[in-house]
Amino acid sequence: MKIETIAVHGGYSPDPTTKAVAVPIYQTSSYAFDSTQHAADLFDLKVQGNIYTRIMNPTQDVLEKRIAEMEGGVAALALASGQAAVTYSILTIAEAGWAHAIGLAALLGFICVGFVAIVPAQLAAEEPD
């Protein structure tokens, strides 16, 4: 499939009931659970599904699948801001167990704060001389 086609149709199959080919926009903040056990399994990540729209929603899921397909990746993560992307990056590096990170003094303020103050327990961040 050409990248242009993937950009328009990737990550989504037509709705089996309506046959609509456009991705619906889900304007909801929360989702119903089948039971308390279903809710517990969702929050424990034992089953996949929607919990709360800030964590994931079906419209965002299609976007992430589409981007991953366009880039030839396994998955993608769509975030609301560059700040969120920077935070996720810092936390991912910290979780990987890196002992040191080197940054430029010209880094934006929050990035420095993120490395020096937010995750010091997970990432040994040292302020440059």
**Spatial distance between the Cα atoms of 101 and 115, rounded to a whole number of angstroms:** 8
Residue 128 lies in a domain: no
Q: Domain check: are 7 and 65 in the same one? A: yes
Max mean pLDDT among 12-16, 51-55, 72-76, 89-93 falls in 72-76
**Residue 123 pLDDT > 70:** no
**Spatial distance between the Cα atoms of 71 and 81, rounded to a whole number of angstroms:** 20
Q: Domain check: are 39 and 67 in the same one? A: yes
Specify the pLDDT at position 56.
82
Residue 127 lies in a domain: no
Specify the pLDDT at position 63.
93
Per DSSP, the three-state class of 52 is strand
pLDDT tens readout for residues 71-100: 999 999 999 888 788 778 877 777 666 666
CB-count exposure of residue 121 (10 Å: 0-12, 13-18, 19+): exposed
Two tokens, residue 9: 């149709």
Q: Domain check: are 61 and 89 in the same one? A: no
Range of the structural domain that residue 95 is part of:
82-118
Q: Domain check: are 56 and 105 in the same one? A: no
Report the 10 Å Cβ neighbour count for 90: 21
What is the number of domains present in the chain? 2
What phi-psi label fits residue 72: left (phi over 0), alpha (psi between -120 and 50 degrees) or beta? left
Classify each residue of 41-65 as buried b or exposed e, where b means 16 or more C-beta atoms within 10 Å of its C-beta.
bbeeeeeeebeebeebbebbbbbbb
